[in-house]
Structure 1
Amino acid sequence: MKLSRRPFARITTATLAGALAVLASACSSGSAGTTTADGVKLVKAGQLTTCTHLPYPPFQYEKDNKVVGFDVAMIDLVAAKLGVKQVIVDQPFETIKTGAVLNAGVCDVAAAGMTITDARKKNLDFTVPYFNATQAVLVRKGLAVTSLEDLKGQHLKLGSQSSTTGEDFAHSHGVDSQSFESSDAELNGLRTGQVDAVIQDFPVVQNWLKDAATAQKFQLAVNLETGERYGFAVKKGGNPQLLQLTDKAIAQAKQDGTYKKLYEQWVGPMPAGADAS
């Protein structure tokens, strides 16, 4: 895939199937890819290609024509160990969590604020957890909401990001939701009155509320302890050396203080024990 001078490339859902087919053919024919001295397989020599889904601040988002964020900074540590640069490719989250983009050779690693689940483990090889997450409900100010049950009882409309654990969590508790393709679209749905509340990972909601205009109109209603942990992922059974190297990069960052520094730079004050292995 030829990238422009921008540090990431977008592939629309409509063209995704064709793009994956072409890339899968290229990879299977041996016309692309390389193996480093460490035995790490890369889809393109000289770079670590990362699939993500934009925007998802504070983990990955575009700023000043560049993709930045906590996940980006963490994978940069892996790229540094390989002596290459990270190149980011924007993909639909559905194709990331199912492993489709990794299987097709679009990227080497997936870094998308992705919760480790048993269902996803069937399609992906996950690293050790690198982030503890909770779900949060953001509502219009003035609404008396302290639980998902309150949304049902007051017949309020809930928005969620499609294919996410937040959406699954709401549905598992009997709350229907209007599904949005991205976190930005979800927030816009709340701003424009399409929904009365949204469910999203707490760090994302926390980041939204840093905007004065958002904080003026909306409030955090409830933080839901769901026991979720994020992981980076590689192709199922396809790149054990990269998986091991990424695990080592995460462990080293937690031990030498780099993790805490990046957490506070991109997410905010780090809770006690957040850097525990």
Structure 2
Amino acid sequence: MKKAPFALAAAALMLTACGSSGGTTESGISLIAEGKLTVCTNPPYAPFEYEENGKIVGLDADIAAAIAEDLGVTSEMFSTSFEGIQSGVALSSGQCDLALSGITITEERKSVMNFTEAYVDDNLAVLVPSGSSITGAADLSGAKVGVQQATSGEKYAQDAGANTVQYEDNGLLLQAVQTGQVDAVVGNITVLSEMLTSDETLTVVEEIETGEQIAGAVATENSDLLEAANKTLAAMEEDGRMADLREKYLGISE
């Protein structure tokens, strides 16, 4: 999917300084809040995270709840900017213990955070309104293309010669293509497919094979939580819970 400016980093550090004194699970894993696994996320980014009746729900929220349950605590989804998440600032400054936000594993991000095992394989895609002259990625050069900022979709569109327009979240991105502010959108197929369910005038004209993988992330020094999260993810793959979630949220039958 999103380099946090200095102001964001400073704000995050102030938040940490004023926050809870933290806690420890029965297994000895340190958390930033007593009895809670605080999880950074960036809705709306359906089907991974979105709000429903004032609560953040979705694939990532369900995974967070499973990890928290295994730790003997509750999960709390903390909404923050994706810039802060993908830059590692949200984790390193103590805004959250874990990040689950439809995060694509990249070498650059590996330098500022440690990733869990991947739980979704993904690709990019090009989405356009009906009647568009754009029939695929080859037509993106010179076009005004909406992207979520600091994502793999943004980089792909820029490399394709598009005039990219950044949006902070997918809700704004959807509005942009619906109202003609942009000619097309480039983003992850799992998320763009969700847009199609809410607007029949939109269509995906090309899926781009990128072999992307989506995973959770922890601060680079938080090896204990990483191990615990991976243990839960492995158990969910083994007992079929993860397959059920992928079918529920992504429509992937395994």
* TM-score, structure 2 as length reference: 0.93
Is 1:84 matched up with 2:73? yes
Q: Matches of 1:116 and 1:232 in 2, distance apart?
A: 9
Q: Secondary structure at the match of 1:199?
A: strand
Q: Secondary structure at the match of 1:44?
A: coil
Is 1:246 matched up with 2:229? yes
1:231 to 208, 212, 215: 215
1:180 to 136, 159, 167: 167
The two structures, once aligned, show a CA RMSD in angstroms of 1.8
Comparing 33-42 and 177-186, the one that deviates more: 33-42
The one-character-per-residue Cα deviations of 1:64-88 (angstroms, maximum 9, x if unpaired) are 1111100111111100101111111
- For structure 1, the 5+ residue unaligned runs are 1-12, 273-277
Residue 103 of structure 1 corresponds to which residue in structure 2?
92
Residue 36 of structure 1 corresponds to which residue in structure 2?
25
Letter in 1 for 2:86: K
Question: After superposition, where does 1:139-158 map in structure 2 within 5 Å?
Answer: 139-152=128-141, 155-158=142-145
* TM-score, structure 1 as length reference: 0.85
Q: Matches of 2:38 and 2:118 in 1, distance apart?
A: 20
Residue 233 of structure 1: CA displacement? 0.4
Residue 275 of structure 1 corresponds to which residue in structure 2?
none
Structure in which a larger fraction of residues adopt strand? 2
Residue 243 of structure 2 corresponds to which residue in structure 1?
260
Q: Matches of 1:267 and 1:258 in 2, distance apart?
A: 14
Contact persistence 1:49–1:88 (CA under 8 A): yes
Residue 147 of structure 1: CA displacement? 2.4
Contact persistence 2:140–2:161 (CA under 8 A): no
The one-character-per-residue Cα deviations of 1:83-139 (angstroms, maximum 9, x if unpaired) are 111111111101101111111111100000000000000100111111101111110
Residue 15 of structure 2 corresponds to which residue in structure 1?
23
Letter in 2 for 1:84: V
Q: Matches of 2:18 and 2:28 in 1, distance apart?
A: 21
- For structure 2, the 5+ residue unaligned runs are none
The aligned length equals 250
Residue 40 of structure 1: CA displacement? 1.3
Q: Secondary structure at the match of 1:174?
A: coil
Q: Matches of 1:174 and 1:196 in 2, distance apart?
A: 14
Residue 148 of structure 2 corresponds to which residue in structure 1?
161
Q: Percent identity?
A: 36
The one-character-per-residue Cα deviations of 1:206-264 (angstroms, maximum 9, x if unpaired) are 111112xx11x211111111110011000111x11110111111111111110111111
Q: Matches of 2:14 and 2:146 in 1, distance apart?
A: 35
Letter in 2 for 1:170: A
Is 1:65 matched up with 2:49? no
Q: Matches of 2:193 and 2:108 in 1, distance apart?
A: 27
Q: Matches of 2:177 and 2:15 in 1, distance apart?
A: 37
Quickly say closer, same or farther: Cα 1:169–1:121, change in 2 above 3 A: same
Q: Secondary structure at the match of 1:232?
A: strand
Q: Matches of 1:63 and 1:260 in 2, distance apart?
A: 23
Contact persistence 2:144–2:162 (CA under 8 A): no
Residue 113 of structure 1 corresponds to which residue in structure 2?
102
Contact persistence 1:49–1:86 (CA under 8 A): yes
